[in-house]
Structure 1
């Protein structure tokens, strides 16, 4: 069962003698961490600002790594995702006692938390448990069972035990964690190589690949693909698009890749030859690569690869998802954003996870400041946090819903502003 912690402070009361007050919007936070790391107790995720602004915030823990996303013949799959669903059921049944409105529940998450939310949107077991969803820096993604089983089998081989839940349960926890870390150390989401723990298409929690279910594209989400979860460019949407009635807010940071490419030194050391090999290995269309290079004449090869990776894995799939909802005439509204304020710390720029301190309005925490530096713009945090609160309250974050002009709210650099079809030449090059 998920460890579900209300962090809303004094936003409501369960005292039946107290004067009644209007039920408040509820936000349920699902943390990221590659489905291996993370916790709802990270100080950046402190819910005080949400409580201050009239939201009942619930933060969820769920099983991670092999315990949450291992694939075994003698145990159900997607246990971590089942934990999230159990938490949402608890919210549905109990949040009124904390002053929350069970009819106004918004799930929001970042990275693996966002991937989880996409899976929840596609899961019949989560239907009706929330009204709105915020997807930050994650796209619909799942693996077929047999492919996902390879990671569990690799951990079992390193441990010298059968790849069964019974055998794993008998292994010392520290030894299990060590083996899990060693096996997943070289996994790459860009190439699909290496080992990682992923949400799986199990026929129960997820009958279909979320990328197909959420766009109306394809009939079978269990195909073994090089880039799992990539929303197909020819997704057409239609009456069968899952969760069409759920309001959706989603987006990315401008330079997601820099969180990994800068500390690892890849930005500096990637040569032109290595770039060409990486583009071939990851099946980036040659026309697309030419467009990105031409638009960045002074960029290093590592920066070009990073921009391509950011868009291939995140921006392009989210745009296709928004387009599919628009074509399908989804009842739920769709909004897109991009976080572009560049951190001065270590040249990280507008990297993955940088927006979190702004969304939670926790710029003063040491953990946020380690990523943003001491002079992050408070007015930007106020604007972004207010947009999330407004979306949870009435489904409108403060800018135009997705339409043919492709409006995107740019949170920095500078003042927030709506931009129509940013970097459209690059985005559309993936559809050629």
Structure 2
């Protein structure tokens, strides 16, 4: 242990052994909280466990220091993410971080478990944006979890279990169930939350019968559809194995280094947005994410939409929404190339025709004025995120559901881009690199609004605006100022029939 005052540390007994965390602020001072970082919930997924279901971590002797973030499944450069998500080397990548205002004294506070995004192939729970300090200030225990990414987590292998990353989520939630009480949390009041792929994880879990006992509510931020078929997963895995010259088995793939699999994974999943960017975009829209939870008929028996239509998860309140322009910038690199190309022609190349296209163009005249590249990029946002959120809300019927939009435009980008809402959700506007997405003076009032709604939902299962109902479509629009509007996703309704 580093040479610091013992009063700075706090020890908690978990089911696997004692862990030592660090106080942030004097223990008795207002707003003080403690952080326990990198607590392993599973054995390191290496060797015989590399492509296996996760195994709960064995008990350790003595006191385990939980003072630094643990190893991350993300390796090296995280790519184009707008969230600072550092990669930390090491083998024990299945770990949790616990932030709590009450690690002693037997409190029973509501709990939020956060699942990071990154397309299921990147991202890290070690981001300074995911620190639970603001939630702790508001008497919410916060847990962030890690899981296997990319092919290791979601690739089909002939003789290995499918959905290994999903199994990681389940084991992490079981760890929360069995241990969060020791950190001042109430295991009977657990809200799962996540953004982007993490939002897709939330919807996947909410739709899974096997996960229903592990949480009581769900908050989905910019969730993506996570629903690869077994057939498509197997096709991709065989392509990857063939490119490496090995069999698509545990033995064959285990012979490849982690670096080699990551290299092949990137080569085979990167959309071609140069050359003819629209052809690359069409394959991305039609195929979706490649390495993602698989509809296996067992652990993940059906798509989230199908499960919700059948009533799975209907007893659990759900908040979900998107930013207005998640991926609208995706074709900005081709802005000059597409300047004189009619949007209608490109919609045709993307397979978007007929009455639905006409209605969509009429409903989005303001976006069309920004040029073809931006209009087609906005269409990608609507196809991947916004119409999906609307479909989820509708599929849940009378189940308690709240819909929102994040419409505040980043001064750096001029639109409400993907990830722009995350520092407001965590109320961490002074954190590292927030200025890169939200400018030098992000509005604290907006953070108060968004973070406050999240706290109310975690605490009371109600974020503070009217529930979604199909006949009215009431939607919270987070902006300066925020409002509640009817049919807040009206401009994407034409895509429901596309």
TM range (shorter): 0.7 to 0.9
Partner of 1:343: 410
Partner of 1:387: 453
Of residues 53-62 and 251-260 in structure 1, the stretch that sits farther from structure 2 once superposed is 251-260
Secondary structure of the residue aligned to 1:25 is strand
For residues 22-42 of structure 1, the C-alpha deviation after alignment (integer angstroms, 9 at most, x for no partner) is: x11100000000110011001
Cα distance in 1 for partners of 2:303, 2:289 equals: 19
Largest Rg, 1 or 2: 2
- Larger relative contact order (C-alpha < 8 A, sep ≥ 6)? 1
- Cα RMSD of the aligned pairs, angstroms, is 2.1
Partner of 1:364: 430
Partner of 1:197: 291
User: Do structure 1's residue 302 and structure 2's residue 302 form an aligned pair?
Assistant: no
CA 1:278–1:166 in structure 2 vs 1: closer, same or farther (change >3 Å)? farther
User: Do structure 1's residue 160 and structure 2's residue 245 form an aligned pair?
Assistant: yes
User: Do structure 1's residue 322 and structure 2's residue 419 form an aligned pair?
Assistant: no
Cα distance in 2 for partners of 1:395, 1:32 equals: 23
Q: Is the 8 A contact 1:111 1:138 kept in 2?
A: yes
What is the CA-CA distance between 1:269 and the residue it aligns to? Answer: 3.4
User: Do structure 1's residue 421 and structure 2's residue 492 form an aligned pair?
Assistant: no
Q: Is the 8 A contact 2:151 2:265 kept in 1?
A: yes
Show structure 1 runs of 5+ residues with no match.
Answer: 217-239
Cα distance in 2 for partners of 1:256, 1:299 equals: 16
Q: Is the 8 A contact 2:116 2:194 kept in 1?
A: yes
Cα distance in 1 for partners of 2:226, 2:214 equals: 21
What is the CA-CA distance between 1:268 and the residue it aligns to? Answer: 4.6
Partner of 1:246: 316
Secondary structure of the residue aligned to 1:357 is helix
Of residues 389-398 and 201-210 in structure 1, the stretch that sits farther from structure 2 once superposed is 201-210
Counting matched residue pairs gives 394
Q: Is the 8 A contact 1:186 1:195 kept in 2?
A: no
For residues 295-335 of structure 1, the C-alpha deviation after alignment (integer angstroms, 9 at most, x for no partner) is: 23522011221222222222222212212222xx32xx110
Partner of 2:115: 30
User: Do structure 1's residue 7 and structure 2's residue 78 form an aligned pair?
Assistant: no
Partner of 2:277: none
Cα distance in 2 for partners of 1:290, 1:428 equals: 9
Partner of 1:219: none
Q: 1:209 aligns with which of 292, 300, 303?
A: 303
Partner of 1:237: none
Cα distance in 1 for partners of 2:329, 2:193 equals: 21
CA 1:276–1:423 in structure 2 vs 1: closer, same or farther (change >3 Å)? same
What is the CA-CA distance between 1:401 and the residue it aligns to? Answer: 0.9
What is the CA-CA distance between 1:193 and the residue it aligns to? Answer: 4.4
User: Do structure 1's residue 119 and structure 2's residue 187 form an aligned pair?
Assistant: no
Q: TM-score, normalization: structure 2?
A: 0.75
Q: 1:311 aligns with which of 377, 382, 398?
A: 382
Partner of 1:234: none
Q: 2:187 aligns with which of 82, 94, 102?
A: 102
Cα distance in 1 for partners of 2:404, 2:199 equals: 14
What is the CA-CA distance between 1:72 and the residue it aligns to? Answer: 0.8
Cα distance in 2 for partners of 1:303, 1:197 equals: 27
Cα distance in 1 for partners of 2:220, 2:389 equals: 9
Q: TM-score, normalization: structure 1?
A: 0.86
Show structure 2 runs of 5+ residues with no match.
Answer: 1-41, 43-92, 273-280
What is the CA-CA distance between 1:150 and the residue it aligns to? Answer: 2.2
